Amino acid sequence: MSPTVQSIFQNHFDAYLEAHPQPLHKIKAARAIMQCRTEALGGHVQRCPHGHVEKIWYNSCKHPSCPKCSALASERWLEKVKALTHEGQGVDYCIDGSGHPFYQIKCLEATVPYAKINFCGHIPGQNIPLENLKHVIDPGNAIMGQHDVNARDRETLVRMLCNPQVQKNIDAMVTHVFPMSKAGEAFEVQVSKKCGKIFMRPWE
């Protein structure tokens, strides 16, 4: 049997981690992949009422970096997004603020030709397989990038955020905190208009 991403992580990740320390979000992703659809995450038993057949179905990790989970979730996600657009064609503008390659690729997949795509998030060490012909030239897309604030304003912004009173006011505005893996739930809360600011943790 050919090795899978999961088996490679299960057999070698701990040794690799010992020799090459990794940031927390990468360790969490690796642990999720290693445990996906194993007894570590629990599961449920499916039985024939006559006792002829019994099968155990283990729970999935649902982490966006997991190959097992992301393939099916990606197809469903794309179908749902396009269903909300005119004749199911896709969106004209797409903005990603997570910096996670999984969601940046989704932006590229969800757009119509001649779309405008803006990447304003970045996770160190994370890159996407961007193909000039496939993602830019053939569809005529315009891909832009920017930081969350203008570079000239960063020093002033940092000084302001260090002000205890300003921080107190900001904390009061944030009513919900979600990991990026639960972006769907966060979006539903936002649409409900029963919240203040929502903080997303892109590393989770």
Q: What is the CATH number of domain 87-148?
A: 3.40.50.720
- Per cent of the chain over pLDDT 90 is 23
What does the DSSP assignment read for the chain? Answer: ----HHHHHHHHHHHHHHHS---HHHHHHHHHHHHTTSGGG-EEEEE-TTSS-EEEEEPP---TT-HHHHHHHHHHHHHHHHHTSGGG--EEEEEE-S--HHHHHHHHHHEEEEEEEEE----TT------IIIIIITTT-EEEE--SS-GGGHHHHHHHHTSHHHHHHHHHHEEEEEEGGGHHHHHHHHHHT--SEEEEETT-
Name the residue ranges covered by the structural domains of the chain: 1-84, 87-148, 153-204
pLDDT, tens digit (0-9, with 9 covering 90-100), for 131-188: 889 889 999 999 998 876 777 777 888 888 788 888 888 888 889 999 888 888 888 8
